[in-house]
């Protein structure tokens, strides 16, 4: 549980909590676009974690409308050797300098500032920008580089596999708890109390799943295997005894 309204600020503390609980870190992390910030990408890189993390316009940039929009900063031609951009009218946007920025989480990053020389008589000015002066853009080259790495990973066969698997595992659970169980808001206040409240919700969700397994005759033997470690190891366990035990527990559990 995290006291943050947005996603991107929760990834690092979540992974650090995981490491604290299990004394190890995941070798692969899969996350949706809410977590695709420079701070998170850099953290995962420094920890040598293979990251399959989307950024906010990952899907949008693959659409034809986005690709053909020549006015987007992302689509401007960039000369890496001489460090300048070219606007849609062919005017060079020289580098004016660099500036330090700080996020709401006090993460410091650097941007490069570029500007055109004269936009007054440009016939495309109305489509290009709304500024009264020349067009000016700020580019975070480090973030762009990290996003390129993320894009290559996400579009790889392994990335497609992880992207397809990610929504299957958590989203159905969230939908069941929030929509089917009508659990849209916590009734308690305070992080410790909210942890307890959601713990109860999680327990009820898992018990409901267990009850469903118990009600399925085809899975009784599988459940017997699951319950076997809970039995006295000195008692002789047979499949028939397991089925009887399951039948008894099922009635007690449902009641």
CA distance 76 to 85: 6
Same domain, 114 and 211: no
Same domain, 222 and 113: no
Q: What's the pLDDT at 223?
A: 52
Same domain, 43 and 87: no
Same domain, 78 and 136: yes
CA distance 249 to 25: 38
Tell me which DSSP letter residue 102 carries. E
CA distance 42 to 11: 12
CA distance 53 to 45: 12
Q: What's the pLDDT at 240?
A: 53
* Structural domain contains residue 1: no
Q: What's the pLDDT at 136?
A: 94
Q: What's the pLDDT at 82?
A: 93
pLDDT digits (tens, 9 = 90+) for 211-237: 887 777 555 555 554 555 544 444 444
Same domain, 166 and 52: yes
Q: How many domains does the chain contain in total?
A: 3
* Structural domain contains residue 2: no
Rounded to whole angstroms, what are the CA distances from 134 to 22, 56, 94, 96?
Answer: 54, 28, 12, 13
Same domain, 73 and 100: yes
Query: Can you give the residue range of the structural domain that contains 137?
Result: 69-146
> Considering just the CA atoms, what is the radius of gyration of the chain in Å?
27
SS3 assignment, position 51: strand
Q: Which residues of the chain have pLDDT under 70?
A: 217-255
Rounded to whole angstroms, what are the CA distances from 25 to 38, 94, 156?
Answer: 20, 43, 23
* Structural domain contains residue 4: no
Place of tokens 């947005």: 6
Same domain, 93 and 55: no
CB contact at 8 A, 110 and 138 = no
Tell me what percent of the residues of the chain surpass a pLDDT of 90: 53
CB contact at 8 A, 34 and 8 = yes
Same domain, 96 and 40: no
Q: What's the pLDDT at 251?
A: 54
Same domain, 25 and 55: yes
CB atoms closer than 10 angstroms to residue 11:
23
Q: What's the pLDDT at 135?
A: 93
CA distance 181 to 201: 9
Q: What's the pLDDT at 88?
A: 92
Q: What's the pLDDT at 237?
A: 45
CA distance 109 to 212: 51
């Amino acid at each position: 549980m995290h006291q943050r309204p947005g996603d991107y600020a929760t990834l690092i503390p979540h992974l650090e909590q995981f490491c604290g609980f299990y004394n190890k870190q995941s070798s692969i992390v899969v996350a949706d676009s809410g977590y695709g910030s420079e701070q998170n990408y850099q953290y995962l890189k420094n920890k040598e974690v293979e990251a399959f993390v989307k950024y906010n316009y990952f899907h949008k940039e693959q659409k034809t409308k986005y690709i053909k929009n020549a006015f987007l900063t992302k689509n401007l031609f960039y000369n890496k050797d001489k460090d300048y951009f070219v606007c849609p009218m062919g005017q060079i946007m020289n580098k004016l300098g660099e500036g330090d920025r700080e996020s709401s989480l006090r993460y410091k990053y650097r941007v490069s500032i570029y500007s055109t020389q004269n936009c007054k008589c440009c016939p495309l000015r109305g489509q290009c920008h709304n500024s009264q002066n020349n067009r000016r853009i700020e580019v975070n080259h480090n973030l762009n580089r990290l996003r390129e790495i993320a894009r290559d990973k996400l579009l790889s066969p392994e990335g497609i596999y992880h992207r397809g698997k990610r929504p299957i595992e958590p989203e159905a659970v969230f939908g069941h708890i929030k929509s089917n169980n009508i659990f849209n808001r916590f009734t308690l206040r305070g992080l410790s109390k909210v942890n307890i409240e959601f713990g109860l919700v999680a327990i009820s969700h898992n018990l409901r799943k267990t009850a469903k397994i118990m009600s399925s005759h085809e899975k009784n033997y599988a459940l017997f295997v699951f319950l076997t470690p809970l039995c006295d190891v000195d008692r002789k366990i047979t499949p028939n005894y397991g089925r009887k035990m399951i039948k008894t527990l099922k009635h007690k559990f449902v009641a």
